Amino acid sequence: MSTLGPQTLGELGEAAVLARIFPRLPESGATILGPGDDAAVLRAPDGRFVVTTDTMIHGPDFRLAWSTPHDLGWKAAATNLADIAAMGAQPTALVVALAAPADTDIAVLEGIADGLRDACEALAPGCGVVGGDLSSSATFTIAVTAFGDLEGRDAVLRSGARPGDVLAVSGALDLAARGLELLFERAVDDSGAADAARAIALRAEFAAELDAQLAPRPPLLDGPAAARGGATAMLDVSDGLAIDARRIATASGVRLDIDSTALESPTSLTGGEAHALLATFPPEVPLPGGFRVIGHVREGEGLSVDGIPYDARGGWDPYVDGVR
Amino acid sequence: MSTLGPQTLGELGEAAVLARIFPRLPESGATILGPGDDAAVLRAPDGRFVVTTDTMIHGPDFRLAWSTPHDLGWKAAATNLADIAAMGAQPTALVVALAAPADTDIAVLEGIADGLRDACEALAPGCGVVGGDLSSSATFTIAVTAFGDLEGRDAVLRSGARPGDVLAVSGALDLAARGLELLFERAVDDSGAADAARAIALRAEFAAELDAQLAPRPPLLDGPAAARGGATAMLDVSDGLAIDARRIATASGVRLDIDSTALESPTSLTGGEAHALLATFPPEVPLPGGFRVIGHVREGEGLSVDGIPYDARGGWDPYVDGVR
């Protein structure tokens, strides 16, 4: 214990840690009963709620040498809320289960709480943290479950694309993957280990790419906007455009044809973690928000690029590809 | 890879693992849209839903040498659903985020899925798994978020106990803690490491204690029953009766007095992970389900036993007490 008083989670204990974190967390407009009891109670105004869960794990999903605590909180919120938005729902709330080594400094958790708050405020105003859990673990882990409100609309599924629809995307497809490539090439030391000083210098030089990877800004408001605007299918591009477009094709029983001239770079087709929204719209409707056309829905199956079948896998599997 | 074909998560890959697990999972009666899209959609019939999250981590929360995979799934469901029941809500659904080393055998995940299913069927019929996430991690981790339906009633909070109420409990207070003591004393090898063979022999001898620790059966139906029966306050006894009773006392601005003759053993006061339901009821109402009186609500503050103030902490803090 330093002369500044207890600073690690182990020195402070669970109650003191929670007392330091709770005031920093964003409040949810859907809260009926917030943290502090056995469970929270939330509003579901149309008698339904949307739910998704996604976990970030030190090693496969992030490096503490590359991400600031604020980045971690931001990304954990943003990526989960993107799955809510991809259903056409308005994000309303999060619960956060955090597991960290006992020697973790409280400042790390405070930074994560600030990142959760700032991401909610910037990307999904009114969304907040309604509950959580704090555990001791050898592996730093952030498991988030997110909620949304369909506001009386049908959910936009992967299965609704129809031949003749346009294929459109909102958000960058290649920046996050290029950011990760840059980190692995240039933010490592001579042994290949993640290097914090080099990551800071790299971020100053390639802000757009590294921000897209470390603190992404998925266009969450375009999810409900797409639903209101008549989207027939939609998903969050998390594993790469090729993999995720094929998911819509399979679920809808159609072929998706991508126009290569509409893509920023070859990385757009395979780069993971874009957290862009990929949607199909009837040809006659004006595209809402930031959506731009990148292809068309055709009869058939699978994925093609400029009309030529595209069978490469593309993208990333946490088990097959392992820890990079 | 063995001649039997791929068996580990790393050999199979995420899609094949999910295809093996999904058919084993229990379905939820609240499902509008189940797993397979970006998010699930659930019913919230009275326009609200109850939510809680709790994580089990290899090391502090379980040992693979002591728990079977079926135990792990069972306990992850049961402990989360106990927090839902403690609000007076009917458990409806779970989402499960599982992180495991890439060399984990698929049979472990199948066992966890079976445990989740059997716990839902036995303890909360109609409750099921509506979504999840699978990650690669050095530390085996099961993060569950659980949902419930208040069926139009008010939630039963910790803050509603009134002087004159009786204090009652449903479920055993000491068995789970005695089970853990037995495991640490007798299911370890000479170096103190968890020993699977000794755990199996011990479980045959002390089934009630070890089952209560490794595959608890919290009286989930008594949560909604308590709410219907007029409970004024309620919580799930997870950190020990002394700690948890004090939480009701603090939230309600009362003193709780426990009658020591009503407790099974001294362990009842301090033993963690009981997952019994502790509730207060007006003196005139008949106690529902398995509730039995163990004390009374008085004016004042804090906790007393047979009228004598009880100030010992009792129970367990994941950071202060560290990894056992």
Q: For A91-118, how does the pLDDT look when each residue is reduced to its tens digit (9 = 90+)?
A: 999 999 999 999 999 999 999 999 999 9
Q: Establish if B3 belongs to a structural domain.
A: no
Residue A93 sits in the same domain as residue A197: no
Q: Establish if B157 belongs to a structural domain.
A: no
Question: Does B236 carry a binding-site annotation?
Answer: yes
In chain B, what residues touch A54 (CB-CB under 8 Å)? 97, 133
- Does residue A321 carry a pLDDT above 80? no
Residue A209 sits in the same domain as residue A255: no
Q: So what's the pLDDT on residue A323? A: 42
Mean pLDDT over residues A14-38, rounded? 93
Q: So what's the pLDDT on residue B2? A: 47
Residue B36 sits in the same domain as residue B74: yes
More reliable by pLDDT, A224 or B322: A224
Q: Establish if A53 belongs to a structural domain.
A: yes
Query: How many other C-beta atoms are found inside a 10 Å radius of the C-beta of residue A185?
Result: 9
Residue B205 sits in the same domain as residue B243: no
Q: Establish if A37 belongs to a structural domain.
A: yes
Taking only the tens place, the pLDDT of each residue in A156-206 is: 999 999 999 999 999 999 999 999 999 999 999 999 999 999 999 999 999
In chain A, what residues touch B41 (CB-CB under 8 Å)? 48-51, 87, 150, 155
Residue B144 sits in the same domain as residue B61: yes
Q: Establish if A236 belongs to a structural domain.
A: yes
ipTM strictly over 0.85? yes
For residues A303-313, b (16+ Cβ closer than 10 Å) or e, as one string? bbbeeeebeee
Structural domain total, chain B: 3
pLDDT tens for chain B, 324 residues: list them.
445 677 999 999 888 998 899 999 999 999 999 998 999 999 999 999 999 999 999 999 999 999 999 999 999 999 999 999 999 999 999 999 999 999 999 999 999 999 999 999 999 999 999 999 999 999 999 999 999 999 999 999 999 999 999 999 999 999 999 999 999 999 999 999 999 999 999 999 999 999 999 999 999 999 999 999 999 999 999 999 999 999 999 999 999 999 999 998 889 999 999 999 999 999 999 999 999 999 999 999 999 999 999 987 665 555 655 444
Q: Cα(A192)–Cα(A321) distance, rounded to whole angstroms?
A: 18
B308 touches chain A (CB under 8 A): no
Annotated binding site of A for ATP: 132-133, 158, 238
Question: Are residues B167 and B245 in contact, defined by beta-carbon separation less than 8 angstroms?
Answer: yes
Q: Cα(A283)–Cα(B245) distance, rounded to whole angstroms?
A: 62
The residue segments making up the domain with residue B95 are: 12-149
Residue B111 sits in the same domain as residue B34: yes
Residue A23 sits in the same domain as residue A78: yes
Q: Establish if B262 belongs to a structural domain.
A: yes
For an interface test with B, the pick among A9, A38, A103, A106 (most B C-beta atoms closer than 10 Å) comes out as A38
Q: Establish if A143 belongs to a structural domain.
A: yes
Q: Establish if B155 belongs to a structural domain.
A: no
Residue B48 sits in the same domain as residue B77: yes
Number of H helices, E strands in chain B: 10, 13
| CATH number of domain containing A92 | 3.30.1330.10
Question: Are residues B153 and B266 in contact, defined by beta-carbon separation less than 8 angstroms?
Answer: no
| CATH number of domain containing B296 | 3.90.650.10
Single-letter amino acid code for the residue at A307: G
CB contact residues (below 8 A), chain A span 102-141, against chain B? 102, 130-139, 141
Q: Cα(A67)–Cα(A214) distance, rounded to whole angstroms?
A: 6
Q: So what's the pLDDT on residue B324? A: 41
Residue A263 sits in the same domain as residue A202: no
- Does residue A322 carry a pLDDT above 60? no
Single-letter amino acid code for the residue at A77: A
**Residues in a beta bridge with A126:** none
CB contact residues (below 8 A), chain B span 18-57, against chain A? 32-33, 37-45, 47-55, 57
Residue B234 sits in the same domain as residue B136: no
Residue A95 sits in the same domain as residue A188: no
Q: Cα(B176)–Cα(B183) distance, rounded to whole angstroms?
A: 11
Nearest to B133 among A55, A84, A147 (CB): A55
Q: So what's the pLDDT on residue A204? A: 97
Cα of B48 vs its chain's centroid, Å: 22
Q: Cα(B60)–Cα(A99) distance, rounded to whole angstroms?
A: 11
Residue A85 sits in the same domain as residue A199: no
Q: So what's the pLDDT on residue A312? A: 77
A184: which residues sit within 8 A by CB, 6+ positions away? Answer: A324
Query: How many other C-beta atoms are found inside a 10 Å radius of the C-beta of residue A276?
Result: 31
CB contact under 8 A, B44 and A47: yes
B310: which residues sit within 8 A by CB, 6+ positions away? Answer: B242, B258, B269, B302, B303, B304
- Classified as helix, coil or strand, A154 is coil
Taking only the tens place, the pLDDT of each residue in A138-163 is: 999 999 999 999 999 999 999 999 99
Q: Cα(A246)–Cα(B254) distance, rounded to whole angstroms?
A: 60
Q: Cα(A180)–Cα(A203) distance, rounded to whole angstroms?
A: 11
For an interface test with B, the pick among A319, A321, A323 (most B C-beta atoms closer than 10 Å) comes out as A319
In chain B, what residues touch A84 (CB-CB under 8 Å)? 38-39
Single-letter amino acid code for the residue at A140: F
Nearest to A95 among B39, B53, B158 (CB): B53
